[in-house]
Amino acid sequence: MPNNLIFMTGATGVLGQDLVKELLKTTDSHIAILARAKNRASHSDRVKKILKAIDLDSHLGKRLHVIEGDVTQHKFGIKKADLEYLERECKVFYHIAALTALNGTEKECQQINVGGTEHALELAWDLRKKGKLERFVYFSTAFVAGSIWNHCSKEDELPVKPGFANYYESSKYKAETKVREAMAKGMPVTIIRPSIVVGHSETGVVSEFNVIYPFIKLFAHGVLSKLPTHLENTFNIVPIDFVIRATCAIVKDPRSVNKAFHVVSPKPPSIGMLLETGQQTYKTIPPIEVIDPKKFVKSQMNGQEQMVFAMLEPYLGYLNGHLTFDTTNTRDILRGTGISMPKTDRAFLKTLIGYAVKVGYLAI
Ligand SMILES: NC(=O)c1ccc[n+]([C@@H]2O[C@H](COP(=O)([O-])OP(=O)(O)OC[C@H]3O[C@@H](n4cnc5c(N)ncnc54)[C@H](OP(=O)(O)O)[C@@H]3O)[C@@H](O)[C@H]2O)c1
């Protein structure tokens, strides 16, 4: 039996996969992964396939264990024997699973992000009372601050009246509120708040082109040509390797109990820098007109552009540009660990775009 068991939801996703890899490399912990059946594949077959693709399948049954469950159910619908196993062994519980689609419906986001977190907390209380749970690590988002309201978001509080661009953001806000309520009642909690996660800092490698990538693709491929923003507006992206290494260092440090951490870029790139970098490197990228959002009239776009633009509404908050994030907790805890805050400069943008072009995601 493992003497140090981590239980993780969301391990089949982009961040979860990399976190499992890092924890196997840097700790001697065992990890129990929650997974569900999907698209006619059983939970265990799905995990096997994913782990094989990232070269971790040899750990299955040794340091990696799979537990069937779905976060939309009470205690994730986990079977009695597996619950007893978690009660006996689990010391750290990472709740990472979420619906991350920015165009998710209100109902889906409520069910998976809010309901899922309530069920995670219900289980965490059991593991704390009946077992030996020491920490509940919750993956929130920097955008609980609401991407359409300009202010400096603090780490150890939630803004009172944020402006949300989509149901993903508002549901993650509600979910973090639940986690903070549990913290106030004595659950030892660590909250990780990444901004927009993108490829590796040195290689640009990312397992899935999600969140901001499809947005960039539409402009790079000339599907859209007008962007309602200002060239000086910034968008906060953060390389995945920093998110993973910082998370491990934060959780390992006992000072991280009952705190939240902005895992973000301290100096995010501007829209102008992104457009310039793309267009200077790839001459085939069509011209993109940046329009003051106050003067942006949708009806002046052609029919196809209007349709695509309507689908992009949930993303537009990220072009807002004046939302900033306090990083005091993150900087304090990372001091002396050898992990520095990430650079998201022109060279990094070039690396990200270069990787997307190399693997054929961007045809420019
Ligand atoms: N990526 C970002 O830019 C970003 C930024 C800030 C914060 N975050 C937060 O970080 C976390 C991970 O993000 P990610 O990008 O890795 O997400 P992702 O790739 O979309 O993965 C989502 C994970 O949640 C699981 N999940 C969803 N619904 C579930 C359900 N009903 N039952 C069980 N598992 C379920 C998925 O499992 P299946 O494989 O079964 O679908 C998958 O493992 C999320 O909490 C997200 O809010 C992400």
**Best mutation site among 18, 72, 96 for ligand 1 pocket (most ligand atoms within 8 Å of CB):** 96
Looking at residue 2, its pLDDT comes to: 54
CA 12 to ligand 1 centroid distance, Å:
8
The residue contributing the CA closest to ligand 1 atom 17 is 13
Instruction: Name the residue at shortest CA distance from atom 39 of ligand 1.
Output: 12
Atom 15 of ligand 1 has which residue's CA nearest to it?
14
Q: How far is the CA of 11 from the centre of ligand 1 (A)?
A: 8
Rounded CA-CA distance 80/2 in Å is 19
Distance of CA 219 to the CA centre of its chain: 23
Ligand 1 interacting residues, C-beta cut-off 6 A: 9-10, 12-16, 36, 38, 70-72, 96-100, 112, 139, 141, 172, 194, 196-197, 211
Which residue, 37, 26, 33, is CA-closest to 8? 33
| Model pTM score | 0.97
Q: Which of 50, 100, 103, 208 to mutate to test the pocket of ligand 1 (most atoms within 8 A of CB)?
A: 100
Looking at residue 104, its pLDDT comes to 95
CB contact at 8 A, 261 and 193: yes
Q: How far is the CA of 100 from the centre of ligand 1 (A)?
A: 6
Give, using CA atoms, the residue closest to atom 2 of ligand 1: 197
CATH superfamily ID and name for 5-199+236-263: NAD(P)-binding Rossmann-like Domain (3.40.50.720)
Q: Which is the closest atom of ligand 1 to the Cα of 101? A: 20
Give the tens place of pLDDT for each residue, 318-358.
Answer: 887 779 999 999 999 999 999 999 999 999 999 999 999 99
- Alpha-carbon distance of 147 to 169, in angstroms, equals 8
* Number of CB atoms found within 10 A of residue 295's CB: 8
Residue partners of 287: CB distance under 8 A and separation at least 6: 225, 279
Opening angle at CA 209, ends 32 and 92, nearest 5 = 20
Task: Give residue 3's pLDDT.
Answer: 63
pLDDT of residue 308: 87
Q: Which residues, given as ranges, of the chain have pLDDT below 50?
A: 1
Residue type, 32: A
Q: Whose CA is nearest to atom 8 of ligand 1?
A: 141
Q: What residues does each domain of the chain span?
A: 5-199+236-263, 213-235+269-324+344-358
The rounded Å distance from CA 186 to ligand 1 centre is 26
